[in-house]
Chain A
Amino acid sequence: MSQFALEITDLKKTYDSDVVALKGINLSVKEGDFFALLGPNGAGKSSTIGIIASLVTKTGGKVKIFDIDTDDDFAEAKRLLGVVSQEINFNNFEKVIDIVTTQAGFYGIPLKDSKQKTEITLKRLGLWEKRNEQARTLSGGFKRRLMIAKALIHEPKLLILDEPTAGVDIELRREMWEFLKEINAQGTTIILTTHYLEEAEQLCKNIAIIDHGELVENTSMKDLLSRLDVQGFVLDIDKPLDQPPSIPDYPITLKDSTTLSVAIKKDQSINHLFDKLSALGINVSSMRNESNRLEEMFIEMVKKN
């Protein structure tokens, strides 16, 4: 068995409208990885996922799922794959329990087993109490959970989630993160696309960035973040100031009388800044990143491209 859960080689997609969505991307995701696939709108993320899931027909290239070439045996590859699409894709007039049981049936799971598996999956996702409700009556967050339940019912080894937390409140989003971390720890390889870069930074070990149908980055999260030249920090201070303190090489602005904003270069020491502030009689009570680090990196890369 290959050490890769997913291998994509020279993947190309041109739509009927002559829009070139993918210009030949190469990508590998290791088994057990938690992988982020990022990119601005229209970059080619959903086309890539669509091709892997057989919702979009590729123009060229190869896709292998756990070493199974989808051109040779897509049915076998699909058994190992679970997909949570970006848009709601179930019949809103069916009951929650029927939607999940039917999905299990489509994977060839006998009715008796699928009922058991459905109960376990719905309980795990906090949907069991809603099992007899029509899907249309669920809130947005519960509909997202239902999408995940459907994708997990056949216990896939590779789970792809296309913006699973879009439109989901913070509490539920964090619950979902914990759930995804748990199933990843149990051995499921996860590929995630998201516009919440904090989410990708929190969850993912490795990352690829697609833009204009091309892969512009494919590395570990740690490596990518280490390349950030300048980071912005917000410092809360204990005494109010009328004007920002002047410290050479550290551009500081006053956000309000007790909050400073400072840009620190990669080769600068934050301890040195604290020493200088202490020397000026300014004590820092708390500190945070001005914006998400990955977000800064992402914007920088997409601008360059």
Chain B
Amino acid sequence: MTRRNEILISLITLIRKEIKRYLRIWVQTLVPPAVTMSLYFVIFGSLIGPRIGTMDGLDYIQFMIPGLIMMSVITNSYANVVSSFYSVKFQKSIEELLVSPMPNWAILAGFIMGGVSRGVLIGCIVFCVSLFFYPSFTIVNPLLTISVLFLTAILFSLMGFINAIFADSFDDISIIPTFVLTPLIYLGGVFYSINILPDIWRNISMANPMLYVVNTFREGMLGVSDVSIPFALAMIIFFIVILASACLFLLHRGIGTRQ
């Protein structure tokens, strides 16, 4: 067997292990986003939404759907990788990987694909839930939608990986999602268009990276956006390259993984 085949088998093994992990605890991983998003659709979509009227010329619930899907994808892909990789560090089962001939890139790819699969799966679940509340929803640009879905899941899985590398306690893996990620997502155009903000807040919002992710996805699903799509896509890909390089550097140096 060639070395390439061996690496491929080891990568598939790790991805299978990661997927089995979150499917085994599906009540903790798959059900909560569906329940939470249903509540958002009921309260903000069906009850409050009609009183708000339209946003960027769209029904409020229709405007909200891409934002809520993106919110679920971001939080779940991040959470999957940060909790899984920190757990293997905590339990020392990372040694199973480190003593094996798996190259660092395959270890990274295995965890990232695990996070991406969960993020995309949750995105699909939330989309299905949204159809109960807005059955006539149609996707304007499926290619852009799917591309952004995967790119976003990759980007935030990589962020989760870096968080896990530096984490020394379970507190460390909840600080960034709670105090950084969540506020940025909520202020990143999930529930509103930045065009309704005063100039100063609109300019400040332009510095929020979540705005680009959410709006690019909204462009794919609905054909409306507050930002330049080529610029946003370029920035997402740029940060994926930077973060993936950083992860590989950290793994190569053994920072957070080897003594």
- A positions within 8 Å CB-CB of B: 15, 50, 53-57, 74-76, 78-79, 81, 83, 85, 87-92, 98, 102-103, 105-111, 150
Q: How far is the CA of A261 from the CA of B229 in the complex (A)?
A: 90
Q: Given the interface contacts A15-B259, A54-B258, A91-B88, does A108 sit within 8 Å of B101 by beta carbon?
A: yes
Give, as a whole number of angstroms, the nearest-CB distance from A87 to chain B. 6
Residue in chain B with minimal CB distance to A79: B101
Which residues of chain B have C-beta atoms less than 8 A from A55's C-beta? 95, 98-99, 258-259
- The answer to whether B10 touches A81 (Cβ under 8 A) is no
B188 to chain A, nearest CB (A): 35
Q: How far is the CB of A282 from chain B (nearest CB, A)?
A: 57
A75 and B93 in contact (CB under 8 A), knowing A102-B13, A108-B10? no
B31 adjacent to chain A (CB < 8 Å): no
Distance to closest chain B CB from A24 (angstroms): 18
Give the CA-CA distance A75 to B97 in the complex, in Å: 12
**Given A89-B93, A90-B96, A92-B91, A110 and B258 contact (CB-CB distance below 8 Å):** no
B1 lies within 8 A of A91 (CB): no
Contact with A along B13-50 (1 / 0, CB 8 A): 11011001000000000000000000000000000000
CB-CB contacts of B216-245 with A at 8 A, as 1s and 0s?
A: 000000000000000000000000000000
- Produce 1/0 per residue, B194-228, CB < 8 A to A: 00000000000000000000000000000000000
Residues of A with C-beta under 8 A to B254: 57
Closest 3 CB pairs of A and B: A108-B6, A105-B13, A75-B101
- In angstroms, Cα B90 to Cα A91, docked, is 10
Q: Identify which of B5, B13, B91 contacts A91 (C-beta below 8 A).
A: B91
Contacts of B53 in A (CB 8 A): none
Contact at A90–B93, with CB atoms within 8 Å?
A: yes
Q: List 13 A-B contacts (CB under 8 A).
A: A53-B98, A53-B99, A75-B102, A75-B103, A85-B92, A89-B92, A89-B95, A90-B93, A91-B88, A105-B10, A106-B96, A108-B1, A108-B5
- Contact, CB under 8 Å: A107 / B258: no
Set of chain A residues within 8 Å of B100, measured between Cβ atoms: 78, 103, 106-107
Which residue of A85, A103, A107, A111 is within 8 Å of B6 (Cβ)?
Answer: A107
Which one of B5, B14, B102 has the highest number of Cβ atoms from chain A below 10 Å of its Cβ? B102
Give the number of residues in B that approach A within 8 Å (Cβ atoms). 32
CB distance from A277 to the nearest CB of B (A): 56
Of the candidates B96, B103, B258, the one whose C-beta lies within 8 Å of that of A103 is B96
When C-beta atoms are compared, the residue in chain A nearest to B255 turns out to be A57
| A/B pair count, beta carbons within 8 Å | 87
Asked if A54 and B259 make an inter-chain contact with CB atoms under 8 angstroms apart, the answer reads no
CB distance from B159 to the nearest CB of A (A): 24
Query: Counting CB contacts under 8 A, is B248 at the interface?
Result: no
> Given the known A-B contacts A107-B6, A107-B10, A108-B5, are A91 and B93 also in contact in the complex, defined by CB atoms under 8 Å?
yes
Contact partner of A56 (CB less than 8 A), chosen from B1, B93, B94, B259, is B259
Residues of A within 8 A of B92 (CB): 85, 87-89
**Complex: A205 Cα to B88 Cα, angstroms:** 37
- Whether A108 and B93, one on each chain, are in contact in the complex, defined by CB atoms closer than 8 angstroms, is no
Apart from the given pairs A78-B99, A108-B7, A110-B9, 14 other A-B contacts in the complex at a CB distance below 8 Å:
A53-B99, A55-B95, A57-B254, A76-B101, A78-B101, A79-B101, A89-B91, A90-B93, A91-B93, A102-B17, A105-B10, A105-B14, A106-B100, A110-B1
Residues of B within 8 A of A150 (CB): 96
**Pairwise interchain contact B6-A57, C-beta atoms closer than 8 A:** no
Residue ID in chain B nearest A78 by CB atoms: B101
B259 contacts which of A50, A74, A76 (Cβ < 8 Å)? A50
Shortest Cβ gap from A155 to chain B (Å):
14
Please report the C-alpha to C-alpha distance between residue A75 and residue B91 in the assembled complex, in whole angstroms. 23
Residues of B within 8 A of A56 (CB): 258-259
Contacts of A91 in B (CB 8 A): 87-88, 91, 93
With both chains docked as a complex, state the minimum distance between the C-beta of B12 and any C-beta of chain A, in angstroms.
Answer: 7
With both chains docked as a complex, state the minimum distance between the C-beta of B91 and any C-beta of chain A, in angstroms: 6
CA distance A103 to B101 in the complex (A): 11
